[in-house]
Amino acid sequence: MIRRDITRSRVGKVLLVLTLLAVTSACTGVIFQPLKRHYFTPGVVDVAYEDVTIESDKGLMLHGWKLLADKPGDTTILFLHGNGENISTHFANLYWLTEYGYDSYIFDYRGYGKSEGLAELDGVIRDVNAMLDYVVSHTADDQNIVVIGHSMGGALAIYGVADYDKKERLSALVTVEAFSDYRDITRDVLGRSWLTWLLQWPVSLTIDNSYSPVDVIADISPLPVLIMHSRKDEIVPFYHALRLYEAAAMPRQFIEVDSDHSHVFNVEPNRQLLLDYIKSLP
């Protein structure tokens, strides 16, 4: 009997360790899932592009692409991608904009793709500032600059734009399937598995929430904000978009799209909604 109890105790400890490992992995995956390998370039869809390297803090170099418009336009796009993979897959969300005269930039955060360093939230926030500085300094004064952030990129864009010291040079911020709070999205992710369900609250409290998007989105005003989100999003629940919209100051706009989380702009009507918004900017 005593030996059997000891065995059960050991099994329990093993299960606890496995659970904690799963929790740690899940929390890391909520924020960053960097991939170093490149799979594609914009050339596979016949889009001309240039390699761009910029310097973030402490001399750390970030890699990106400038996708070149088919014809001159009046707007430049900066696209901030989500937490997984790298620009070699995420450019699929924006390459189509070049057909409408929009030069478009997309960069990898530190630790992603060919960018140096290791992905961590404080540093990535500084990377976003470096990206904004680069695009502003390389865009003509008579051109609009629209920042578009997808998923985690939307959360980063909200804080980055709200805190940006040259915000008046930007024309609008568009978030696509963005989450409103780092701890809330952590609970959402952990709550999907029986293995981590009971730990969603205590673990979420260990997540750095210093850059919570919902806390700063009002500071973006008077810059226009557009929030695009789908009720079918299987990653970021719809309530995140509603919270962001309620917290945002005017001018603000909300567009409900019909899509899953990752393929919003594979749907032609969703593309048109974004195009109509960009064209409406002064």
Q: State how far the Cα of 123 lies from the Cα of 109, in Å rounded to an integer.
A: 9
Give yes or no for a contact between 91 and 42, defined as CB atoms under 8 angstroms apart. Answer: yes
DSSP class of residue 228 equals: E
222, burial (CB in 10 Å: exposed 0-12, middle 13-18, buried 19+)? exposed
Structure tokens at 112: 């992603």
Mean pLDDT for the chain?
Answer: 89
Residue 96 above 60 pLDDT?
yes
- φ/ψ of 71, rounded to 5, equals -145, 155
Share of the chain above pLDDT 90, in %: 78
pLDDT digits (tens, 9 = 90+) for 235-272: 999 999 999 999 999 999 999 999 999 999 999 999 99
In angstroms, the CA 82 to CA 232 distance is: 18
DSSP β-bridge partners for residue 256: 229
Confidence of residue 208 (pLDDT cuts 50, 70, 90): confident
Q: Does 219 have pLDDT greater than 70?
A: yes
Rounded Cα gap, residues 159 and 213, in angstroms: 6
pLDDT at position 204? 66
Confidence class of residue 86 from pLDDT cuts 50, 70 and 90? Answer: very high
Q: How far apart are CA 259 and CA 226, in angstroms?
A: 17
Over residues 202-223, mean pLDDT: 88
Asked whether the predicted pLDDT for residue 195 surpasses 80, the reply is: no
CA atoms within 13 A on the CB side of 247: 20
CB 238 within 8 A of CB 179: no
* Model pLDDT, residue 197: 65
**HSE (side-chain half, CA atoms, 13 Å) at 10:** 6
Question: pLDDT tens-digit profile of 117-137?
Answer: 999 999 999 999 999 999 999
What's the CA gap between 156 and 268, in Å, rounded?
Answer: 26
Counting residues of the chain whose pLDDT is more than 70, the rounded percentage is: 86
How far apart CA 10 and CA 7 sit, in angstroms, is: 5
pLDDT of the residue at 76? 98
Q: Is CATH 3.40.50.1820 the right assignment for the domain spanning 2-280?
A: yes
Contact 140, 117 (CB under 8 A): no
Terminal C-alpha separation, the chain:
79
Q: Where are the chain's structural domains?
A: 2-280
Cβ(42)–Cβ(49) below 8 Å: yes
- 167, two tokens: 């915000």
Which tens digits make up the pLDDT trace of 38-84? 999 999 999 999 999 999 998 999 999 999 999 989 999 999 999 99
**Residue range 156-182, pLDDT digits in tens:** 999 999 999 999 999 999 999 999 999
Query: Is the CA virtual torsion 217, 154, 22, 114 positive or negative?
Result: negative
CA pair distance 231, 123, nearest whole angstrom: 32
- Contact between 232 and 259 under an 8 Å Cβ cutoff? The reply is yes
Q: For 207, what's the count of Cα atoms within 13 Å in the CB-facing half-sphere?
A: 28
